[in-house]
């Protein structure tokens, strides 16, 4: 008797644990925030709020200062202001404002959405003025904003002279990668492969910056041959001054300043660090995700036109309180089934109610991880699943009232439900292979519901057969 009580207690604890995970999720601390690591439900468009973002071609003009040689002056000073010429230049030059670039910008943005797997969005283009309208789920608007704000322009410059070393026009492809040293510190890199027309850039950069390596060798010789500490210190200080660095900018913002000695060059590829090395996993993940986003943005292509957000409007879900009423109705239906089983079957009815809870928990987990879209129709189909599972659970309990042997319970219960299962599976398989999204989603939901009901009946029979 004690063994039976222990097994029942263990079963109840397992059901409670699975139910808590299914209903509420698992929350862990990630860096500075707490997040749920269990997949979220995929709601249909009629069950969640929508947002509409309007992107307008940026028509602002910036003041650019030139010196007497026609070079851009980043920080003008008052002493030479008479030698400067100030010009207002549009963010988007007139020659880029054409239908071809409008369509190219739309296509690039759409490719970025596909890359991040943005669900249930719509994107439209006004070819007359380049305006882009984006409709997406309200919860994904931060992702939409990020993807549309990226230009995709990478520039590498000599930190000292500000000379442009290479940019997108020299690049064939970019990949994000990382490397961990013997001390456990990880560095995230961009692997930049140059196109055929720019492969000579590799040799140019090697030849130009070999002074760093030669200087290092000279310093080593000086340290070995000279005995004066002052001379050694002088050489070391000069060596530090001669260290060459590359400034890496993305969309006009500083990404990293990397010493040329930290850059790995192989054939037509440069491996440049995007940040300092770190041993913190959250920091490393952040650097790596940034590198992946930059690499993909460059590979897809630089936006030929700069856009600005004109307006963002938010719209509530279509059905308002209808969803709440349906959910309340489902909860009431399940509660009625619980009460019926407990009144009719007493203690075995309690086990049946616990098993029924397990079925609900497993079905909700299946919905989370199979990306079944929850719609008004699929919520209503829950009613059918609730009745099917109630019939199967009751059949198993009825069989256990006649014989507590596990095999006998299954044999007697499945005599009652086998026809229902065969008919249900045939209909549901047809539904599941239908290409129409709504019917397909309902079919998959009900297939999982029936399969989990079968699995749950085996578990219920096993629990009821415990002696």
Q: Please give, one letter per residue, the 3-state secondary structure of the chain.
A: CHHHHHHHHHHHHHHHHHHHHHHHCCEEEECCEEEECCCCCEECHHHCCEEEEEEEECCCEEEEEECCCCCECCCCCHHHHHHCEEEEEECCCHHHCCHHHHHHHHHHHHHHHHHCCCCCCEEEECCCCCCEEEEEEHHHHHHHHHHHHCCCCEEEEECCCCCEEEEHHHEEEEEEEEEECCCCCEEEEEEEEECHHHCHHHHHHHHHHHHHHHHHHHHHHHHHHCCCHHHHHHHHHHHHHCCCEEEEEECCEEEEEEEHHHCEEECCEEEEECCCCECCHHHHHHHHHHHHHHHHHHHHCCCCCCEEEEEEEEECCCCCCHHHHHHHHHHHHHHHHHHHHHHHHCHHHHHHHHHHHHHHHHHHHHHHHCCCEECHHHHHHHHHHHHHHHHHHHHHHHHHHHCCCHHHHHHHHHHHHHHHHHHHHHHHHHHHCCCCHHHHHHHHHHHHHHHHHHHHHHHHHHHHCCC
Taking residues 170-198, what's their average pLDDT? 91
Taking residues 449-464, what's their average pLDDT? 91
pLDDT band at 171 (very low <50, low <70, confident <90, very high): very high
Sign of the C-alpha dihedral computed for residues 39, 49, 377 and 20 taken in this order: positive
Residue 305 has what pLDDT?
94
Residue 98 has what pLDDT?
94
Residue 57 has what pLDDT?
93
Fold (CATH) for 2-43+318-464: Multidrug efflux transporter AcrB transmembrane fold (1.20.1640)
Q: pLDDT at residue 441 above 80?
A: no
Q: Where are the domains of the chain?
A: 2-43+318-464, 53-152+301-316, 153-288
119-123, 257-261, 282-286: which is most confident: 282-286
Taking residues 280-296, what's their average pLDDT? 91
Query: Could you give the C-alpha distances from 241 to 212, 218, 230, 232, 402, in angstroms and in order?
Result: 10, 14, 17, 14, 91
3-class DSSP state for residue 220?
Answer: helix
Name which of 42-56, 91-105, 112-126 the model is least confident about: 42-56
For residue 418, what is the enclosing H or E element? helix 406-432
pLDDT band at 228 (very low <50, low <70, confident <90, very high): very low
Q: Which pair of tokens denotes residue 264?
A: 């790995």
Report yes or no: 362 and 452 within 8 Å, Cβ to Cβ. yes
pLDDT band at 159 (very low <50, low <70, confident <90, very high): confident
Residue 421 has what pLDDT?
75
pTM of the model: 0.61
Q: pLDDT at residue 41 above 50?
A: yes
- From the list 130, 134, 122, 132, the residue with the least C-alpha distance to 52 is 134
Name which of 30-44, 99-113, 208-222, 290-304 the model is least confident about: 208-222
Taking CA 266 as the corner, what is the angle to CA 241 and CA 271, rounded to the nearest 5 degrees?
60
The number of CA neighbours under 13 Å toward the Cβ of 141 is 19
- From the list 462, 450, 466, 337, the residue with the least C-alpha distance to 396 is 462
pLDDT band at 429 (very low <50, low <70, confident <90, very high): low
Of the two residues 233 and 95, the one the predictor is more confident about is 95
In angstroms, the CA 336 to CA 387 distance is 11
Q: Tell me phi and psi for residue 271, to 5 degrees.
A: -105, 110
Q: At what angle do helices 376-402 and 322-345 cross, to 10 degrees?
A: 0
pLDDT band at 452 (very low <50, low <70, confident <90, very high): very high
Residue 216 has what pLDDT?
39
Residue 167 has what pLDDT?
92
pLDDT band at 432 (very low <50, low <70, confident <90, very high): low
In angstroms, the CA 313 to CA 133 distance is 11
pLDDT band at 153 (very low <50, low <70, confident <90, very high): very high
Q: In which residue are the tokens 């600005």 written?
A: 308
Of the two residues 174 and 371, the one the predictor is more confident about is 174
Q: Are the folds of 2-43+318-464 and 153-288 the same?
A: no
Note the pLDDT tens digit of each residue in 114-149: 998 888 788 999 999 999 999 988 878 889 999 999
Residue 65 has what pLDDT?
81
In sequence order, the β-bridge partners of residue 55 are 132, 309
Mean pLDDT rounded to a whole number for the chain = 82
Note the pLDDT tens digit of each residue in 189-222: 999 999 988 878 777 877 776 533 333 333 334 3
pLDDT over 70, % of the chain = 85
In angstroms, the CA 139 to CA 50 distance is 8
Residue 121 has what pLDDT?
86
In angstroms, the CA 427 to CA 432 distance is 9
CATH 3.30.1360 fits 153-288, yes or no: yes
- From the list 276, 253, 161, the residue with the least C-alpha distance to 209 is 161
pLDDT band at 86 (very low <50, low <70, confident <90, very high): confident
Note the pLDDT tens digit of each residue in 384-413: 889 889 999 999 999 998 888 888 888 888
pLDDT band at 433 (very low <50, low <70, confident <90, very high): low
Gyration radius (Cα) of the chain, Å: 33
pLDDT over 90, % of the chain = 37
pLDDT band at 370 (very low <50, low <70, confident <90, very high): confident
Residue 353 has what pLDDT?
94
């Amino acid at each position: 008797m004690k063994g039976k009580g222990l097994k029942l207690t263990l079963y109840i604890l397992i059901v409670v644990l699975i139910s808590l995970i299914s209903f509420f999720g698992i929350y862990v601390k990630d860096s500075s925030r707490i997040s749920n690591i269990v997949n979220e439900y995929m709601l249909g468009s009629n069950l969640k709020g929508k947002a509409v973002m309007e992107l307008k071609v940026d028509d602002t003009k910036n003041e650019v200062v030139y010196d007497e040689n026609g070079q851009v002056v980043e920080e003008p000073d008052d002493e030479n202001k008479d030698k400067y010429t100030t010009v207002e230049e549009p963010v988007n030059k007139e020659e880029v404002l054409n239908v071809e670039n409008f369509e190219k910008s739309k296509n690039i943005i759409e490719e970025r959405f596909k890359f991040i797997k943005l669900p249930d969005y719509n994107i439209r283009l006004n070819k007359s003025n380049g305006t882009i309208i984006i409709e997406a789920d309200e919860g994904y608007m931060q992702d939409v904003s990020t993807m549309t704000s990226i230009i995709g322009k990478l520039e590498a410059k000599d930190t000292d002279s500000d000379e442009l070393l290479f940019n997108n026009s020299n690049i064939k492809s970019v990949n994000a990668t990382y490397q961990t040293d013997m001390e456990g510190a990880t560095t995230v890199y961009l692997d930049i492969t140059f196109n055929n027309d720019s492969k000579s850039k590799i040799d140019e950069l090697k030849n130009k910056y070999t002074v760093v390596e030669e200087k290092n060798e000279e310093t080593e010789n000086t340290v070995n041959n000279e005995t004066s500490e002052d001379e050694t210190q002088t050489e070391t200080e000069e060596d530090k001054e001669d260290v060459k660095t590359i400034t890496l900018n993305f969309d006009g913002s500083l990404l990293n300043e990397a010493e040329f000695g930290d850059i790995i060059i192989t054939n037509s590829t440069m491996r440049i660090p995007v940040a300092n090395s770190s041993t913190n996993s959250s920091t490393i993940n952040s650097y790596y995700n940034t590198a992946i986003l930059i690499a993909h943005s460059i590979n897809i292509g630089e936006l030929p036109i700069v856009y600005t957000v004109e307006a963002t409007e938010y719209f509530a879900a279509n059905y308002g309180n209808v969803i709440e009423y349906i959910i309340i109705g489902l909860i009431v239906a399940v509660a009625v089934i619980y009460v019926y089983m407990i009144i009719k079957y007493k203690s075995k009815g309690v086990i049946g109610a616990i098993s029924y809870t397990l079925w609900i928990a497993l079905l909700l987990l299946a919905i989370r991880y199979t990306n079944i879209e929850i719609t008004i129709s699929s919520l209503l189909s829950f009613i059918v699943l609730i009745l099917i599972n109630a019939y199967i659970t009751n059949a198993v309990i009825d069989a256990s009232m006649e014989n507590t042997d596990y095999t006998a319970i299954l044999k007697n219960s499945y005599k009652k439900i086998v026809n229902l299962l065969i008919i249900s599976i045939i209909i549901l398989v047809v539904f599941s292979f239908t290409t129409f999204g709504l019917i397909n989603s309902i079919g998959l939901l009900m297939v999982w519901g029936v399969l989990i009901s079968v699995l749950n009946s085996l578990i219920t029979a096993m629990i009821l057969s415990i002696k």
